Structure 1
Amino acid sequence: MKNLLTCIVFLFFMAGLSGCSDGSEKSDHPSVVQGFLEIKDYDLNTQGPIVLSGLWKFTWLYWKSSGKESQNSHEIVSVPSSWNGRNGSRLGEGYGTYELTIKLDKNYGDLAFIIQEQSSSYFLYVDGKLLASCGEVDIPSGADITIFEVQPAWCNRFVKFSPQGEEIKVDMQIANKDHRLGGFWAPIRFGTASSLEKTWHAERFLDMFLAGGLFCIGLLHLIYAVVRRGESASMYFGLYCVIMAGRGLFSGTRIISEYLEFLKYHHYVRIEYITFYLAIPVFLSYILSVFPRELKRILVDLVWWIAIGACLVVLIFPVHIFTFTITIYYLVAFLAGTLGLFSLTKAALRRRKGALIILAGFVFVYAAMIHDILYATFYLDTGYFTNIGAFMFLVAQSVFLSIRSSDSLDRLLDLSRNLERRVEDRTKQLRNALRLIQNDLNVAREIQKGLLHLEDRMEKTVGQTKFRILHKPLAEVGGDLYDIVEFPDSRIRIFLADATGHGIQAALITILIRSVYEDLRMKEESPGKLLSEISSEFHGKYGNVSTFFSASILEISPDGKKLTLALAGSPPVLVQTKDEEHVIECENPLVGLLENFDFEDKEISLTQGFRILCFTDGLTESSRLPGDFYGIERVLAFLRTGDSKNLEELLGGIEEDLLKFLGSSEPKDDILVLGIEDQRK
């Protein structure tokens, strides 16, 4: 907490330094009264320059240097100000001459003026001689004094001159036809040439320094945002810094005009307006990205839409139209700034990390924005401070990043010191959890075996028919099951099923399958009817959870001469007799997929010594590479070459060949193979 308070005090100290200027320019200096300024109790050498603000003489529609006599009487107006609205109907378009007489009490040697841009062209005469100009003005010699042409420009000038006596006559002629506001809206600074030259260069250096610092830091944050996706706070902060850097170069001293001479008046106005319009929503977006719980996104989006609309107006319409948007946007900027201040205050009260530092920096941004609005509306004559406010926020952001980096480093050091212990503790937890899971799976396996009577490599003989089982579940429990039952009339019915999925989910489904099958297996006369009944039962009871499965039901007649079977979404059944081979394909849907589906029976004639292979898709769809499956052909080849082998050797050979085929790959499904062999000779 002590370090945090130190950082905040440092911010205010920096603000004091950045806001410092020659205090004599703004306090205790003589003011212009009735177009006259007397300097007798003020020393320009020791007390510094003064601002020529106050009450000047002003003559509307009078261009003194043209030599014409004025048709209007002079009036007393406040400088800086706009001439709009005076006399009830005066608009921004027009021209006029401002006059001032300066009375000196001693000889100061060379003197100077610093002249900021006026709206929107000006000519400065001192003792009747042209000292500085910006833009071009053409006043025709005709009788109509309202006809004139202006080529506007925005210029800042530093000009020296040598006074010819104790009195200095200053005439500022201003003309405007483009901007919504016209007049003497930026005060002139007056002082000795040496002191004003230092001020001139210091201000330009400050603008370049602030703009350069903001641009470099902004570019750094933008690169950081590109490298680390999802860092929206860095992106918005970088955009804000770049925007404010541009605004600092194109407003204030407008030092960029010396390097970009091709830019015209309307370019500068558009850039100044657009940077102001975009800075507000970008900064709000930064606050939203850092403290999303303290600021409503819908409010930020609303400010974005207003800013985008205002920027489109600036880009599309001429200067004398789009400059009217600024009056509305001043209100938007004030409300948005207040919203940001409220959100950051709320974040600080909630003790959000870094909120107090960011709030301290934002206070300068907010104060600078309010100051600039007052300056632009002629309530102050100090100049633009937005770039200073932005730089102070940059300092606050740097402090915030330093603290956050320090905290991250502390966490990293703590993690590295305790990493081994934490890994060991976590490993113990995982081992205990694995042990519990393994115990549960072992219990589940025994329960499944007990309920479903599933055994690997089991042999069973029913009458003259021998059965051999190869059962390899993918996990401790699986989704394949089988059943062999002999009817009182010596028919033998074989049932294979493969539940969708793997592991515990599939194992639970097999219990449902077994339950439904046992209820119906002795009631239905044929495999097809039995499958149809099971399918209807599953669709009605468990269709809402998509419980589908493939199944095969085979029935061997009492005399062993006929095989009746029905298949549902299962792999082919292979039948080998003395005379031929049968590959019985399945064309039916999965069990439980359709509500009422009639599974038809197929019949195959059997001979003595027949062999039948039934299996689930875990065998034929095993793959070592994508698209490279074990396939039905390999199983059929083993059946063809296995005449001299018993069932144990046949199924063992299939298992060995499958493992050889897979190589280093692991099976991806449960494997169930049921071999049937006739023992009659």
Structure 2
Amino acid sequence: MSSICVKGCYWRKKFFTGNLKVFISTIIIFLLIFSLTPCVHAEEQVSPPKAVGGVLDLTHWDFDKQGPVGLDGEWEFYWERLYEPHHFHSGHVKPEDGYYMEIPRSWNGFEVDGKTIEGMGYGTFRLTVKLPENGNPKAIKLTSISTSHKLWVNGRLVSSDGKVGTTREDSEAKHYHKVITLDQSSGTIELVVQVANFMHRRGGIWQSIKLGNSQDILKLRERQVIIDMVLFGSLFIIGLYHLILYLLRRKDKSPLYFGIFCLLISLRSLLVGEIIFLYYFPQASQELVLKLEYMTFYLGIAFYALFLNALFPKELPDKISRIIAAVSFGITLLLSLPRHISIPPY
């Protein structure tokens, strides 16, 4: 009887382990498919025009057929100057007073007067966009502007996140992903963006600002929010499922570690992408959001290493998994300290 029980336990464990391997492999395959899908679409689309000398000519771009376009290319850039639209219209500021910076990118490493810019600082960006005639109402989708900004469109202030200042004391970091609907459908659009960063190691306009027909931009954002929420819900359910498995069978700790890993990544999905976390907790500081983003990443590494060790103890010995976990927990502890930390990107 005892030999039968031993064999039964052995085959149940083998069945569980085998299915878990298949499950993990399936997740990896799906992640690869989803990550490669945008690349395939990008190759099929016609390359949009780019801004040259602070001017983006979209007069021949068909927004109805070709969809939204990124406002990429050479923007006017004025380092350590906070200009508003009236400064340009009055002739107080001229393009030759500044520089041209390729957007999207951080301003780290950009040279001004022979000196290399670091992450902390402030500046003004400006771009003129020429639209085709007889178009539909337009909208702009803002993403990562590090880490506070003011945006004027044709002289009207349409977005302000955080507080733009010239020092750390005068500034407050905050940035939402948002859609700004414009009244204009044709003609020329002037964008003036003040940006200040005294929190993160990288500053500037990291990601492409999208311009398109209002309904297309809104659909784009809705689709990205749905993807983030589906990812959150799926990982959250998977995490709870594995925690329940552990409660039913506590001798095997691999479901515990994998469940915690899934819950951490599900939380992180709310802190990246559209940063949905801020819509549920708008009073949360940008520093808190950033720290949670990094903490969930490093904690995820720790618990995934422990999970692999529990599942494959020969392939990943206890010593190595504990070192990985200890380093990850140590970094997480540093991130939790209540002081200003310039966190390097992972």
Q: TM (normalized to structure 2)?
A: 0.82
The aligned counterpart of 1:323 is 343
1:100 aligns with 2:124: no
The aligned counterpart of 1:589 is none
- Are the structure 2 counterparts of residues 236 and 263 from structure 1 closer, same or farther at C-alpha, using a change threshold of 3 Å? same
The aligned counterpart of 1:607 is none
Residue among 34, 44, 47 paired with 2:63 = 44
Give the SS at the match of 1:318: coil
Unaligned runs of 5+ in 2: 1-20
Give the SS at the match of 1:267: helix
1:279 aligns with 2:300: yes
Deviation at 1:318, TM superposition (A): 3.1
Deviations 1:535-594 (A, max 9, x none): xxxxxxxxxxxxxxxxxxxxxxxxxxxxxxxxxxxxxxxxxxxxxxxxxxxxxxxxxxxx
Deviations 1:291-333 (A, max 9, x none): 21112322222221221221121111534x2413x4xxx3xxx
The aligned counterpart of 1:35 is 54
For 2:168 and 2:279, the matched residues in 1 are separated by 32
- Highest RCO, 1 vs 2 (Cα 8 Å, sep ≥ 6): 2
> Do the aligned residues in 2 keep the contact of 1:64 with 1:97 (CA within 8 Å)?
yes
For 2:26 and 2:285, the matched residues in 1 are separated by 43
Give the SS at the match of 2:181: strand
Deviation at 1:229, TM superposition (A): 0.8
For 2:165 and 2:34, the matched residues in 1 are separated by 45
The aligned counterpart of 1:110 is 137
1:53 aligns with 2:72: yes
> Do the aligned residues in 1 keep the contact of 2:134 with 2:185 (CA within 8 Å)?
no
What are the equivalent positions in structure 2 for 1:291-330 lying under 5 Å apart? Answer: 291-316=312-337, 318-319=339-340, 321-324=341-344, 326=345, 330=346
Deviations 1:239-290 (A, max 9, x none): 1110110000111101121111231111101101101111112222222221
- Are the structure 2 counterparts of residues 286 and 184 from structure 1 closer, same or farther at C-alpha, using a change threshold of 3 Å? same
Give the SS at the match of 1:187: coil
Deviation at 1:165, TM superposition (A): 4.4
1:256 aligns with 2:273: no
> Do the aligned residues in 2 keep the contact of 1:135 with 1:153 (CA within 8 Å)?
yes
Deviation at 1:10, TM superposition (A): 10
Opposite residue 107 of structure 2, the aligned amino acid is W
Deviation at 1:78, TM superposition (A): 1.8
Give the SS at the match of 1:285: helix
For 1:247 and 1:20, the matched residues in 2 are separated by 22
The aligned counterpart of 2:33 is 16
The aligned counterpart of 2:99 is 75
Q: TM (normalized to structure 1)?
A: 0.43
Unaligned runs of 5+ in 1: 140-145, 331-681
What are the equivalent positions in structure 2 for 1:10-409 lying under 5 Å apart? Answer: 12=29, 15-16=32-33, 20-21=37-38, 23=41, 28-65=47-84, 69=92, 73-87=97-111, 88-138=115-165, 149-163=170-184, 165-316=186-337, 318-319=339-340, 321-324=341-344, 326=345, 330=346
For 1:14 and 1:287, the matched residues in 2 are separated by 19
Deviations 1:186-244 (A, max 9, x none): 22111110111111111101101110110111011112112211221111110111011
RMSD (CA atoms): 2.9
- Are the structure 2 counterparts of residues 43 and 234 from structure 1 closer, same or farther at C-alpha, using a change threshold of 3 Å? same
- Are the structure 2 counterparts of residues 205 and 52 from structure 1 closer, same or farther at C-alpha, using a change threshold of 3 Å? same
Give the SS at the match of 2:204: coil
For 2:105 and 2:76, the matched residues in 1 are separated by 13
Deviations 1:103-150 (A, max 9, x none): 1222322111111131110111111111212112246xxxxxx79711
> Do the aligned residues in 2 keep the contact of 1:84 with 1:182 (CA within 8 Å)?
yes
For 2:168 and 2:259, the matched residues in 1 are separated by 48
- Are the structure 2 counterparts of residues 23 and 32 from structure 1 closer, same or farther at C-alpha, using a change threshold of 3 Å? farther
Rg larger for: 1
Deviation at 1:40, TM superposition (A): 3.8
Give the SS at the match of 1:98: strand
Deviations 1:473-512 (A, max 9, x none): xxxxxxxxxxxxxxxxxxxxxxxxxxxxxxxxxxxxxxxx
